[in-house]
Amino acid sequence: MDVPELAGVVVPYLTAVAGAYGGAVVQRVVDQSADATAGAGMSVGRRVLRRLLGSGRSAQIGQAVTEVGEQPDDEASRELLRAVVVKALSEDAQLAVDVVRVLGDAGVHGSVTVLGSQGVQVGSHNTQTNHFDPPGGRR
């Protein structure tokens, strides 16, 4: 998995964690006691974020994920987070290996299901599932 593809897999998990915890995302992720109550996706996001916060780009990642937590619907904030994650993974091969290991341990292998009205397919031979509600919300 190349770095942009890896970032594409990681960022939805980080965005979910940021959306759930809001602006206090970094403090909540560092507090490991909350892991017991985290769902599977949240647990993966917390572990990945914890590892990214231990990188040389910790300050930038913390700032970007906090911004997403404060403004979860802001596309520019999500793109900034993605860019910072790509830089961090590009600069530190061991970080990329560690993040792949966290994803692999969680059963994530380059496939992401995106729920909502937007999603981006990165790379080839990946699977993307989009669920759209028809107008008026009726199925």
For residue 50, how many other CB atoms are within 10 A of its CB? 15
Q: Which two tokens stand for residue 98?
A: 């560690």
Q: Which among 65, 96, 69 has a CA at the least distance from the CA of 81?
A: 65
pLDDT at residue 139 greater than cutoff 70 = no
State residue 72's pLDDT score. 87
- Write down the mean pLDDT value for the chain: 78
Q: Which among 127, 94, 125, 118 has a CA at the least distance from the CA of 15?
A: 118
Helix (H, G, I), strand (E, B) or coil at 125: coil
Mean pLDDT is lowest, of 71-75, 97-101, 116-120, for 116-120
* Calpha distance 86→37 (Å, rounded): 29
Tell whether pTM > 0.85.
no
Residues with Cβ < 8 Å from 23, sequence gap 6 or more?
A: 66, 69, 70
Q: How confident is the model at residue 110 (pLDDT cuts 50, 70, 90)?
A: low
Residues with Cβ < 8 Å from 105, sequence gap 6 or more?
A: none
Q: Which two tokens stand for residue 80?
A: 């900034």
State residue 35's pLDDT score. 53
List, for residues 36-95, the tens digit of each pLDDT value: 555 555 788 889 999 999 999 999 999 999 999 999 889 999 999 999 999 999 999 899
* Calpha distance 109→12 (Å, rounded): 14
Q: How confident is the model at residue 25 (pLDDT cuts 50, 70, 90)?
A: confident
Q: Which among 94, 71, 103 has a CA at the least distance from the CA of 7?
A: 103
